[in-house]
Amino acid sequence: MQHDVHIIGGGLAGSEAAWQLASRGFRVRLSEMRGSGETTAAHHTDGLAELVCSNSFRSDDDEKNAVGLLHYEMRQLDSLIMRAGEKARVPAGSALAVDRDVFSAEVENALRDHPNVEIVRERIDTLPTEGLTIVATGPLTAASLAESIGAATGSESLAFFDAIAPIVHHDTIDMSICWMQSRWDKRSGPGSEGKDYINCPMNKEEYLAFHQGLLDAEKSEFKEWEKDTPYFDGCMPIEVMAERGVDTLRYGPMKPVGLDDPRTATPEFPQGRWPYAVVQLRQDNKLGTLWNMVGFQTKMKYGAQVELFRTIPGLQNAEFARLGGLHRNTFLNSPLLLDRQLRLKSASNIRFAGQITGCEGYVESSAIGLLTGLMAAAELAGQSYTAPPATTAMGALLSHITGDAEAESYQPMNVNFGLFPPMHDVKKKQRKEAYTSRAKQDFSVWQSNLRSVAA
């Protein structure tokens, strides 16, 4: 099939960009390396939009949360990723979590069935010199293509490590010790009882022993060329967090606030008391057979993981469907290298999308993929493109990537209200609602003025 746009990379960003372009009548060649005999250090399948880390798209609250607002904006633009996420949804309190296999299949089937999309299993080694191209190869870009990108940009890509959390078989969790509850009993939606997480309680002695175990555990060794590569704070390995202080985990992924251990119920406290620390597990598939250890991304060696994690109350007999892992990610210094339409300044026929631009998170990557699809569609139609306002979640994220951030200190970033134009005249307690209200209003105006583009 002759194509209008060549998309390299069939992850979340590439899949979303393909959907947006194909839905507007443009023909897309989607090149995906996996399935051609090639893979990456983190992927396990050749499915499009495979989720290699958590199965959570994080908060779905679009009234007080920046990523929830991003969900809202993407849904308004008929995002394939959000559409597939709804079909693959599993209980996760106020978060949007998915069955990763169902999710990937939904994305791939939608694109495979679209007459304007051709999916080709092939490795692309060099940047195309002609034709509109979107590079969405993610943080695990193959070495040959990464070298080509480096040659085109004239600078080396930055790099960081991304760690993967373990997954536990539900039937090996001791529910006589653990209990089901979302923090503060928060409900995920109609029919929810506020019991979406499995909670494993720890007393002080158990916690201190666990903390010491994290410090003492055998870790994966770094290769020489990896030693100076920094971690991204949003995906910090559990043992690295432990090194920051004995109570760091109790104020992070193991915080006990809002979780009542029913085993400690008394007449005075009929719901139970908060434990000293808690390990939470979140449902990872629709069947409820697999559960993800929340915030427990790790670089410990496999044997050390099994030994230490089985000291957690309720997980003494745990069997792991997947243990934690570590892989090296790369991303561009986008404020220096890309223009406001995510085009490479030295080669304007090439756009970049997704995590390789330095955004962090599934939804953020998908949103940037969506925007590159809209930008390319407008260019093909001979129309000017107006970016969403910086007051919106998509606009704030785009602004950070393409110029608001300092190039010298550019680091991966999740969407957050710190990227939005400040509202100092609004009281602090009311700012989140004010940010989302302003964003929705401005997004609605922008969307209504968005030109209808079709091939």
- The residues, any chain, with a CB within 8 Å of residue 64's CB and separated by 6 or more, are 432, 433, 436
* Nearest Cα to Cα of residue 24 among 305, 370, 300: 370
Residue type for 260, please? D
Crossing angle (nearest 10°) for helices 12-23 and 100-112: 30
Long-range contacts: 440-449, Cβ < 8 Å, 24+? Answer: 440/62, 440/69, 440/72, 442/388, 442/389, 442/391, 442/392, 443/73, 443/76, 443/388, 443/389, 443/392, 443/394, 446/386, 446/388, 446/389, 446/392, 446/395, 447/76, 447/77, 449/386
Q: Phi and psi dihedrals of 323, rounded to 5?
A: -95, 165
Alpha carbon distance 259, 256 (integer Å): 6
**98 has which bridge partners?**
89
Please give the torsion angle defined by the CA atoms of residues 57, 285, 39 and 109, in that order, rounded to the nearest 10 degrees. -80
- Is 35 assigned a ligand-binding role in the annotation? no
Instruction: Let me know the angle formed at the C-alpha of 426 by 420 and 427, rounded to the nearest 5 degrees.
Output: 115
Eight-state DSSP code of residue 4: S
CA 452 vs. chain centroid, Å, equals 30
Decide: 314 and 200 in contact? Cβ < 8 Å: yes
- Is 10 assigned a ligand-binding role in the annotation? yes
**273 has which bridge partners?**
261
Alpha carbon distance 88, 81 (integer Å): 10
Decide: 173 and 319 in contact? Cβ < 8 Å: no
- Is 272 assigned a ligand-binding role in the annotation? no
- Is 14 assigned a ligand-binding role in the annotation? yes
Decide: 165 and 53 in contact? Cβ < 8 Å: yes
Enumerate the known binding-site residues for FAD: 9-14
| Binding-site residues | 9-14
